[in-house]
Amino acid sequence: MRVDRNVELKWENMYHGIHAQVEWLRKGPDELFANARRMLTTVPPRIYLVGCGDSHYAGLATRLAFERWTGIPTEALESLEFSRYAVDYAPPGSWVVCVSNSGRVTRTVECALFAKQQGLFLWPLLSIQIVPWLKQAAFLSTHALALESTASR
């Protein structure tokens, strides 16, 4: 049970969530790769993985894999650190991967907005349907990976 929301976590919900990913995994990665190849014409000088809480830890856990597989220097930063400090020193053309489960974390949304102002390339990763700020931000919506949440099923 989640004590903060008095919601009972059920095995059936997790089971449905896992099985809902199967169809996406059959086609999704290939489609994303094909789209990325069409869109990307240059190699970024740096990749930033930004998020808060668990989303930040996801970046910490994967940054070395990014570096090993791409050969591109990669940093995992907490959203506040990136939006307040690192964004001003990010090399032009850098990628900013904004990780957010809800898409509503203020500091991560700020990262996307400040990175856009600096002319950086944004890759929002959300585990929910497109959220309102993402729909309104044309600069983000073409690059968004949104996986429908199955937690409510």
What are the residue ranges in the chain where pLDDT is below 70?
1-7, 126-153
Q: According to the model, what pLDDT value does residue 128 have?
A: 55
In 10 A of CB 28, how many CB atoms?
13
Q: According to the model, what pLDDT value does residue 132 have?
A: 54
The per-residue DSSP string of 32-53 comes to HHHHHHHH--S--S-EEEEEST
In 10 A of CB 55, how many CB atoms?
22
Q: Residue 39 carries which side chain, given as an amino acid letter?
A: M
Tens of pLDDT, residue by residue over 85-106, are 999 999 999 999 988 877 778 8
Give me 90's structure tokens. 């990010």
Report how far residue 54's alpha carbon sits from residue 85's, in angstroms, rounded to the nearest whole number: 21
Q: According to the model, what pLDDT value does residue 34 have?
A: 82
Report how far residue 74's alpha carbon sits from residue 49's, in angstroms, rounded to the nearest whole number: 7
| Residues 74, 90 contacting (CB under 8 angstroms) | no
Q: According to the model, what pLDDT value does residue 30 have?
A: 84
The hierarchical CATH code for the domain 43-146 is 3.40.50.10490
